[in-house]
Amino acid sequence: MTEAPLRLAVIIGSTREGRVGDRIARWFAGQASGRTDLSVVLVDLAEFAFPPGYPARATPQMSAFAAEVGRADAFAVVTPEYNHSFPASLKQAIDFAYDEWHAKPVGYVSYGCRSAGQHAVDQLRTVFTALHAVSVRDGVGVDLLDGCADLDSRLAGDLPARAAQVLLDQLCWWGRALKAARAAHPFVS
């Protein structure tokens, strides 16, 4: 029996004007869309009108984001590094869902001017552990130290493509395993 493709949400974490994140996310989504085991949806935080503060009741936009998380079987979080962490826009959105993250795999596509966004990933691993999500080991790191002028041609190389497929393989393995586990047993949180 052929398994239905897993739904992979590629989350664009930066909402900064003039951001690079959407280019990197679209490249990664392109890598994923060539696979038959995944159906890919881009979730762009810049398209949600989130409230400036955390309201007592979820707004329709907050609920729409949580529903998007709930529909997904796996996540690729595309994050820049800001002051050795990840951007506030991403933390704000992550905190709008809770059960919807549980027992699902998360992979990281990070970038920055030093260490390819590794500090941001380290902190996201802690955050997603609190949400009972499973961070996969390998990720994609894009170094922006020399700027973004040749970003598209660098992303078109073999090494980034191979790193993307390794990450996608791990997301698929965990995605299938955890989907079956969620169907067999309600999560224990």
Ligand X SMILES: Cc1cc2nc3c(=O)[nH]c(=O)nc-3n(C[C@H](O)[C@H](O)[C@H](O)COP(=O)(O)O)c2cc1C
Footprint on this chain of ligand X (rule: CB under 6 A): 14, 16, 19-21, 80-84, 112-115, 144
> Based on CB atoms, which residue is closest to ligand X, 84 or 132?
84
CB of 144 to ligand X, least distance (A): 5
Give CA–CA dist 17/28, Å, rounded: 20
Determine contact, residues 64/93, Cβ cutoff 8 Å: no
CB of 89 to ligand X, least distance (A): 9
CB of 53 to ligand X, least distance (A): 21
CB of 56 to ligand X, least distance (A): 30
CB of 114 to ligand X, least distance (A): 4
> Based on CB atoms, which residue is closest to ligand X, 6 or 25?
25
> Based on CB atoms, which residue is closest to ligand X, 114 or 162?
114
Q: What does the chain come to in residues?
A: 189
Sign of CA dihedral 153, 155, 158, 161: negative
**Token pair for 70:** 């709930």
CB of 92 to ligand X, least distance (A): 15
**H-type alpha helices, the chain:** 21-33, 60-71, 88-94, 118-130, 151-155, 158-184
> Based on CB atoms, which residue is closest to ligand X, 14 or 170?
14
User: What is the 3-state composition of the chain as percent helix, strand, coil, each rounded to the nearest 5?
Assistant: 45, 20, 35
Mark 152-176 as b/e (b = at least 16 C-beta within 10 Å).
eebbeeeebbebbebbbebbbebbb
> Based on CB atoms, which residue is closest to ligand X, 77 or 103?
77
Residue type, 58: A
> Based on CB atoms, which residue is closest to ligand X, 113 or 177?
113
